[in-house]
């Protein structure tokens, strides 16, 4: 096997994996924008009675979702998005509807 071809291929892979500073900054800005939009939609949801009840149920079941110190915007966005998308388990419903026995 030609070692120079292998070395060139490995160098090319390393170069392709490297992100420029500008690409990294663009990703951070995008994450920050997405996080801002998500927080705004949660705030709007919290203004409606059904939305506030939904958020309260999530807090009760999964705990509060607050930003951890040192957490990047992208990491917090992913965690908050998961917190909102988690399936809320169904509560047990009675087998029979309670009877009305008032005369």
Measured over the CA atoms of residue 83, residue 84, residue 87 and residue 93, the dihedral's sign is positive
User: So what's the pLDDT on residue 77?
Assistant: 94
User: So what's the pLDDT on residue 20?
Assistant: 77
CA distances from 62 to 31, 56, 65, 71 (A): 24, 10, 8, 19
| Residues 37 and 67 sit within 8 Å (Cβ to Cβ) | no
In angstroms and rounded to an integer, the radius of gyration of the C-alpha atoms of the chain is 25
User: So what's the pLDDT on residue 103?
Assistant: 54
User: So what's the pLDDT on residue 1?
Assistant: 53
User: So what's the pLDDT on residue 21?
Assistant: 76
Arithmetic mean of pLDDT, 88-99: 69
Per-residue pLDDT reduced to its tens digit, 34-93: 999 999 999 999 999 999 999 999 999 999 999 999 999 999 999 999 999 998 877 666
């Amino acid at each position: 096997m030609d070692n120079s071809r292998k070395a060139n291929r490995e160098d090319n892979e390393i170069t392709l994996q490297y992100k420029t500073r500008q690409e990294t900054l663009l990703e951070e800005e995008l994450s920050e924008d997405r996080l801002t939009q998500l927080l705004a939609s949660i705030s709007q949801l919290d203004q409606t009675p059904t939305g506030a009840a939904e958020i309260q149920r999530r807090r009760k079941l999964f705990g509060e979702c607050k930003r951890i110190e040192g957490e990047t915007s992208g990491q917090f966005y992913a965690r908050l998005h998961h917190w909102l998308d988690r399936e809320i388990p169904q509560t047990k419903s009675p087998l029979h509807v309670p009877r009305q026995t008032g005369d």
